[in-house]
């Protein structure tokens, strides 16, 4: 009975992922994206998921220009996550990313008063690297150029604007080191 349920689950997951697959997104074994994700007016080429990756409902994953996104094996991405790349975003293995998390390797140019913010261009991207075994809390925003080492823990609602070494616990806006975890 369990094998039949598993087969039905993975069949449904495959069918749900068809629009993303047709747009170039690649899925490893037993990886899936939940229903309601944006696919109609976004680019999804150069997005690769390792094995056993789960991406929650209503996610928005997009590559712009030459951008790429890689999500490592056994990583879970929560509902309504936004991952947008103009450069390169790498998420390691065994990570847990909560709901409504934003990972953006670029900004919108809004400094010129002669240009409306809605008509501004994108800034130069800076790569983002999230190491293996990281936990990213709900509503976190990770901005361009950030590198998080292995097993970092990011508290809910944090805005991460700079890099932190492995085994860091960070929180706040802007995120600051709270303590280190001894490996």
Residue 113 has what pLDDT? 87
Q: Encode pLDDT of 145-156 as tens digits.
A: 999 999 999 999
The average pLDDT across 130-156 equals 98
Confidence of residue 72 (pLDDT cuts 50, 70, 90): very high
Q: What is the dihedral of CA 131, 136, 141, 146, to 10 degrees?
A: -20
Q: Which of 105, 165, 168, 175 is nearest to 140 (CA)?
A: 175
Does residue 89 lie within any of the structural domains? yes
Does residue 133 lie within any of the structural domains? yes
Residue 112 has what pLDDT? 85
Confidence of residue 57 (pLDDT cuts 50, 70, 90): very high
DSSP β-bridge partners for residue 136: 97, 154
Residue 119 has what pLDDT? 84
Task: Scan for tokens 């950030």, then name that residue.
Answer: 146
Does residue 134 lie within any of the structural domains? yes
CB 91 within 8 A of CB 113: no
Confidence of residue 120 (pLDDT cuts 50, 70, 90): confident
Does residue 183 lie within any of the structural domains? no
Domain that holds residue 93: 2-178
Q: What is the DSSP letter of 133?
A: T
CB 167 within 8 A of CB 151: yes
Number of domains in the chain: 1
The average pLDDT across 25-42 equals 93
Share of the chain above pLDDT 90, in %: 79
Q: What is the CATH number of the domain that holds 97?
A: 2.160.10.10
Does residue 35 lie within any of the structural domains? yes
Tokens of 159: 């805005």
Asked whether residue 31 carries a pLDDT value surpassing 80, the answer given is: yes
Is 170 or 10 the better-scoring residue by pLDDT? 170
Does residue 33 lie within any of the structural domains? yes
Does residue 37 lie within any of the structural domains? yes
Alpha helices in 55-158 (DSSP H): none
Does residue 15 lie within any of the structural domains? yes
């Amino acid at each position: 009975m369990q094998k039949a349920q598993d087969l039905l689950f993975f069949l449904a997951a495959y069918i749900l992922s068809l629009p993303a697959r047709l747009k170039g997104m690649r899925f490893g074994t037993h990886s899936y994206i939940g229903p309601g994700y944006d696919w109609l007016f976004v680019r999804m080429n150069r997005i690769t998921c390792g094995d056993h990756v789960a991406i929650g409902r209503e996610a928005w994953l997009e590559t712009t220009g030459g951008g790429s996104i890689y999500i490592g094996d056994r990583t879970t991405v929560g509902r309504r996550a936004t991952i947008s790349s103009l450069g390169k975003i790498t998420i390691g293995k065994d990570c847990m990313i909560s709901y409504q998390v934003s990972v953006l390797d670029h900004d919108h140019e809004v400094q010129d008063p002669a240009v409306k913010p809605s008509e501004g261009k994108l800034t130069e991207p800076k790569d983002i690297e999230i190491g293996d075994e990281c936990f990213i809390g709900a509503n976190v925003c990770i901005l361009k150029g950030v590198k998080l080492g292995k097993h970092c823990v990011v508290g809910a609602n944090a805005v991460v604007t700079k890099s932190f070494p492995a085994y860091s616990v960070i929180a706040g806006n802007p995120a600051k080191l709270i303590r280190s975890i001894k490996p």
